Amino acid sequence: MDLANKVAVVTGSGRGLGLAYAQDLAAAGARVVVNDVDAEVADAAVASITDASGQAVAVVAPVGSSETAQLLVDTAVSTYGQLDVLVTNAGVLRDTVVWKMTDDDFDTVINVHLRGTFTCVRAAAVRMREQATGGRIICIGSPTGQRGNFGQTNYAAAKAGIVGMVRTWSMELARANITVNAVIPVAATAMTETVPFFKPYVDAARRGEVMPPFARRALAFGTPQDAAGVITFLASDSAAGITGQAVGVGGDRVTVWSHPEQVVAGFADGGWSADALADVWATTFGPHEQTVGEKFPTPPEA
């Protein structure tokens, strides 16, 4: 995979998945703009790339505002002359059940994930259209946005919204040869450490232990580096025909998520009354009700 002619911005790339994405893009030859809110973390990320003979520069700023989005694009252009790839990865968590969630809990997560994705993509789209050389936009989603998760109202809303925007942007930017895709990763990070089911595997990864096949295959759960190849592939010329997709990745597994589809339809002359629905729901519609949340398989040792 050769990205030697590409310039990429990766938000939230000081650590975890974002850092893995930035390092993999740089290893393929891309020049990378690293972003984090912590200067020390951002500088360490840049050093990890340059020490491996890559090229990178840091922007220390919180994602969310239009000003940060424009700064990221301007830094790519002023430093490397162009912008070809945007990966919107920056995120935070403020987990709690809905009756305890504060306005600040909700707004903080929405601002970074949803608004931050919007502002960064808007700024990048403007630049990429001006360059008239096409581009790659990759927005990071989550299984929580696809299926919901207890205690994550704000995060679920943001991640579901991101995939909805990706589908729209893929249509709006197609004529400019700009592809837009979502990646739905699962990996051992500080974020997944908060999920009790995953914590033992996160702890094992931190100890340097190899994750068992059950984790890597049945759970599609691995290291951040396991998820990076999908990002680099979607950033490449090889993925020029792929757009509007939600691609899952984790451990040994890559998937394509379906778009929401109607699964059953019923018709009543003149429309449905509440009583008519009550009469037939259990037999016509009930069997097709959809599940919510992730359904984890039972570990073999259990």
Rounded-to-integer distance, Cα 161 and Cα 226, Å: 25
Structure tokens at 52: 């491996």
Among 253, 282, 290, 246, which residue's Cα sits nearest to residue 266?
282
Angle between helices 116-131 and 153-172 (to 10 degrees): 20
Reading phi first (left if > 0) and then psi (alpha if -120 to 50, else beta), residue 242 is in beta
Among 21, 14, 18, which residue's Cα sits nearest to residue 37?
14
Rounded-to-integer distance, Cα 276 and Cα 137, Å: 47
The amino acid at residue 56 is A
Instruction: Check: CB of residue 3 under 8 Å from CB of residue 30.
Output: yes
Instruction: Check: CB of residue 246 under 8 Å from CB of residue 167.
Output: no
Instruction: Check: CB of residue 25 under 8 Å from CB of residue 3.
Output: yes
Render 68-134 in DSSP notation, one character per residue. Answer: HHHHHHHHHHHHHS---EEEE-------B-TTT--HHHHHHHIIIIIIHHHHHHHHHHHHHHHHTS-
Q: Which of 21, 80, 155, 201 is catalytic?
A: 155
Among 98, 101, 117, which residue's Cα sits nearest to residue 158?
117
Buried b (16+ CB within 10 A) or exposed e, 76-111: bbeebebbbbbbbbbbbbbbeeeeebeeebbebbbb
155 is catalytic: yes
Q: Any idea which residues carry the catalytic annotation? A: 155
